[in-house]
């Protein structure tokens, strides 16, 4: 026997690999589809035009008596949240992160339902339009929250908690403002409370569905990449 030392082989402990998609790269390494960037810019440009047009002539958007100036301020602010955050990050010298184009598209898209719904008179002409809007808007916002705040390794309960907490808080703030804005209308006074509860319920359901869609997409990408679900960590006893 030689007098050299022998290293004991044992189970290797490796740090969990970063989540990958079907192409083998991590989400932050993947190229951004040019069409997504163009879509985001187009949406913001059209939104700006709608805001200016409505602010000049509220009757054009059927928004007389519906706080048109408040809407003209709120929606551009919402659409500018993510770009503003990334600008501040750059100014403060924080670690660079790719701009979340898909999340920004989802957030910006939620600003259109109000303008287009009122302009085309869909809220009055289509009985289920308002319900669909509350469901879809919260689904889109929840998906954006998950894309921004979670990874494929995040536990499902944490994904749902974050998505529902953020979107439901935003929905509640909106409903409080909307209730106060329309409570003085005789025709809305007796139905506003029930409508608000229904809207919040639909918003909650939309948030859950939006979050689950993102998680399902991530799981599908892992399967296509030949990756199994991450195994739970075991502590040494």
Encode pLDDT of 35-86 as tens digits. Answer: 999 999 999 999 999 999 988 998 888 888 777 888 888 899 999 999 999 9
The pLDDT score that the predictor gives to residue 191 is 57
Query: Structure pTM?
Result: 0.78
Name 8's Cβ contacts closer than 8 Å, sequence gap at least 6.
Answer: none
- Helix and strand element counts for the chain (H, E): 9, 0
| 3-class SS of residue 221 | helix
SS3 185: coil
| Residue 19 scores a pLDDT above 90 | no
List the chain domain ranges.
32-123, 127-227
Q: pLDDT band at residue 224, thresholds of 50, 70 and 90? A: confident
- b or e along 163-195 (b: 16 or more beta carbons within 10 Å of the residue's beta carbon)? bbebbbebbeebbeebeeebeeeeeeeeebeeb
Q: 177 or 121: whose pLDDT is higher? A: 121
Per DSSP, 214 falls in state H
149 or 190, which is more confident? 149
Detail the DSSP E strand segments found in the chain.
none
Name all contacts of 82-85 with Cβ < 8 Å and 24+ positions apart.
82/107, 82/148
Instruction: Name which residue leads in pLDDT, 124 or 15.
Output: 124
Residue 151 scores a pLDDT above 90: yes
- Provide φ and ψ at 4, rounded to 5°: -70, 160
> How much is the pLDDT for 42?
97
Confidence (pLDDT) at 23: 37
Q: Are the C-beta atoms of residues 58 and 68 closer than 8 Å to each other? A: yes
């Amino acid at each position: 026997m030689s007098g050299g030392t022998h290293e004991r082989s044992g189970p290797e402990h490796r740090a969990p690999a970063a989540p990958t998609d079907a192409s083998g790269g991590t989400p932050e390494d993947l190229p951004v589809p040019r069409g997504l960037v163009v879509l985001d810019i187009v949406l913001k440009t059209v939104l700006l035009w709608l805001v200016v047009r409505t602010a000049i002539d509220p009757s054009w958007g059927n928004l007389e008596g519906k706080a048109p100036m408040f809407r003209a301020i709120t929606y551009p602010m919402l659409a500018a949240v993510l770009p503003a955050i990334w600008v501040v990050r750059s100014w403060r010298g924080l670690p660079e992160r790719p701009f979340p184009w898909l999340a920004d598209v989802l957030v910006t898209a939620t600003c259109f339902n109000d303008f287009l719904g009122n302009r085309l008179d869909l809220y009055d002409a289509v009985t289920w339009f308002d319900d669909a809007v509350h469901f879809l808007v919260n689904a889109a916002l929840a998906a954006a929250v998950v894309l921004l705040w979670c990874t494929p390794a995040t536990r499902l309960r944490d994904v749902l908690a974050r998505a529902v907490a953020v979107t439901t808080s935003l929905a509640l703030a909106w409903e409080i403002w909307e209730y106060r804005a329309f409570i003085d209308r005789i025709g809305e006074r007796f139905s506003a409370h029930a409508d608000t509860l229904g809207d919040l319920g639909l918003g909650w359901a939309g948030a859950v569905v939006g979050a689950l869609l993102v998680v399902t997409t991530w799981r599908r990408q892992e399967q296509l990449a030949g990756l199994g679900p991450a195994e739970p960590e075991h502590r040494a006893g």
